Amino acid sequence: MVNIDWKKAAIFAGGVLFGTAGVKVLASKDAKKVYTNCTAAVLRAKESVLETTTKVQENAEDILAEAEAINARRKAEEAAEETEEETESDAETAQTE
């Protein structure tokens, strides 16, 4: 005859019942409402993150443009100073000759 381990059989049956009940709960209208509300919240969060990302990106572009303008001004000022120094040097050279 076959010896049945009733403890294991009871655990298996409990698991089947729990799984079946779990599937029913997950497929219920209330659960669907929860899923829908959670999904809506995630979509709102996504929109918020995208708006923030867009603002940060725009600010970064503005900062980059301003930094490039500053560097262009500095370069122009340095070039003007070099030209001034060369002009003074040429004038001194011409006077000594």
pLDDT in tens, the chain (97 residues): 567 788 888 888 888 888 888 788 778 888 889 999 999 999 999 999 999 999 999 999 999 999 999 999 999 999 998 888 777 776 666 666 6
Report the alpha-carbon distance of residue 51 to residue 49 in Å, rounded: 5
Q: Is 44 exposed, middle or buried (0-12, 13-18, 19+ CB in 10 A)?
A: exposed
pLDDT, position 95:
67
What is residue 91's predicted lDDT score, i.e. its pLDDT? 67
Q: Residues for the chain: how many in total? A: 97
Q: How far apart are CA 53 and CA 46, in angstroms?
A: 10
Q: How far are the Cα atoms of 5, 7, 95 from residue 17, in angstroms, in the given order?
A: 19, 15, 108
Phi, psi angles (nearest 5°) of residue 63:
-60, -45
Q: What is the pLDDT of residue 88?
A: 73
Q: How far apart are the C-alpha atoms of 26 and 23, rounded to whole Å? A: 5
State pTM to two decimals. Answer: 0.48
The pLDDT of residue 37 is 94
